[in-house]
Amino acid sequence: MKAYLILEDGSVYEGNSVGAEKSVVSEIVFNTSMTGYLEVMTDPSYAGQAVVMTYPLIGNYGICYEDIESNKAWVDAFIVRELSEVASNFRNEDSIQNFLKVNNIPCITGIDTRDLTKRLREYGTMNGMIITTGSYDISEVSQKIKEYSVKGVVKKTSTDKSYTLDGKGKRVVLMDFGAKRNIAKQLQKRGCEVIVVPCDTTADDIIKLNPDGIMLSNGPGDPKENVDIIKEIKKLYDSDIPIFAICLGHQLMALATGADTYKLKYGHRGGNHPVKDLENGKTYISSQNHGYAVDESTLNKSICIPAFVNVNDNTNEGLRYINKNIFTVQYHPEACPGPRDNSYLFDKFIKMMED
C-alpha cells in the first residue's frame, strides 16, 4: 500500500506502508545510528516524534526483546529507506515488521531518506504527517500539521507509581521523566538499590526515602514545560544530596538554578557525537538524543560551570556545580544504543556518594 510523508513546508515524500495502517501527525527528527533501532523505538525520549533513520537498511538483525528500553514503543512513526525482509542474528526473536504492527507504529519505507535528512538539516526540525490509509486532502492535512506540538509527554512516559530494584549498595532515587531502562541497570550493576519514582514526586517525599544519591533521568519534550518539576528539583539542589542528571534531567537542573534552555535547529540524535571533557581535555564518543540545549551564556558561574562541550557545534554537554555534589550531562552515558565510552560517569557518581 502507498504511504505519504507530508512536511509543514509542503514537501511530499511517497513510499510504501509497513506496520500499523493509520495516519499520524508528529515532529519529524532524524537519527544517525547504524544500529540500535529497537532501542530507539522504545526510548521514551522519542514520545511525540517520528524518527527518520539515516542508515539505509534497517531490521537486518531482527528484534531482541532483551534490548528494549521501556515496556512499549514510543515513537509516533518510523521512516526508513529499506526494511530488511530477512533477519540474521542468533538472538533474533521477532521481525521488525511484526514488531511495528504489534506496537501500532506506522512505518513508511522506500523514500529518499538522504534527501529528507538534508532538508531537516537545512531548514530545521519540522512537523509532518505520515499517511498510510490512502488519499488525503492537502488543506486538511496542512492545518493538522500546523496545529501540532509536543505536549505533556513527560507525564505520559513516567511511571505511575514508585517501585524498587533491589541492591545491597547505595540507595539511589531515580526520578523517572521517561527513563531508559539501562540507567537503572547501570546503577544496579554497581550494586545500588534503585527506587524509581514518578516525575511529579515532591522533593520532600524523595528526601524522606533517605537516599544516598538522586538520579534525574532523560525524557521527552521541552524542558520549560515542566514548571512544577523544576520547583521540586530546586529543593533537591538545596538539599546537598549527591545528584547525577542525564539529558532532560540535566536541562531541568539548569533551569532550576536560573539558567535558560533553547531548541536546537535539528537536535543531536545518534551514536557518534564527540564530546570534550573540559577538565582533562579528552574527547569521548557519545550517544545522544535531544532537541534542546542549555544556553551557556545564561549560566551563573558562581553556581555552575561548563564541564563538557560538543565538538561538532560547541553546544553545552554537561555542567559541574560549584560546592555541590552535583554533575549533569546532556548525552547518554548508559548508551544503548551507542558507544560505552562514558559509563565511567556512573562510577564517578558512586564515588561521590561514598565520599
Q: Which residues are annotated as a binding site for L-glutamine?
A: 45, 219, 221, 248, 251, 289, 291-292
**What secondary structure does DSSP assign to 71-137, as a single string?**
SS---SEEE-SEE-S----TT--B-HHHHHHHTT-EEEESS-HHHHHHHHHHH--EEEEEE-SS---
What pairing do the DSSP bridges indicate for beta strands 260-277 and 304-310?
antiparallel
Residue in this structure with the C-alpha cell 541497570, named with its chain if needed: 185
Q: Which of 27, 273, 334, 336 is catalytic?
A: 334
* Cα 78 to Cα 113: distance, rounded to the nearest angstrom: 11
Single out the residue of 317, 328, 279, 323 nearest to residue 301, CA to CA: 323
Q: Can 250 be counted among the known catalytic residues? A: no
**Rounded Cα distance, 171 and 218, in Å:** 19
Neighbours of 152 (CB within 10 A): 12
Question: How is residue 209 written as a grid cell?
Answer: 526515602
Query: In terms of C-beta distances under 8 Å and separation of at least 24 residues, what long-range contacts does 307-316 make, across chains too?
Result: 307/277, 307/278, 307/279, 308/275, 308/276, 308/277, 308/278, 309/275, 309/276, 309/278, 310/268, 310/273, 310/274, 310/275, 311/274, 311/275, 311/276, 311/283, 312/273, 312/274, 315/264, 315/268
Q: How many angstroms separate the CA atoms of 244 and 165, rounded?
A: 18
Q: What is the DSSP letter of 315?
A: -
DSSP 42: T
Annotation marks residue 304 as catalytic: no
Q: Which amino acids are annotated as binding site, given as ranges?
A: 45, 219, 221, 248, 251, 289, 291-292
Instruction: Name the active-site residue from 199, 247, 304, 336.
Output: 247
DSSP state, residue 35:
S
Among the options 250, 268, 290, 332, which is catalytic?
332
Active centre residues (catalytic)? 247, 332, 334
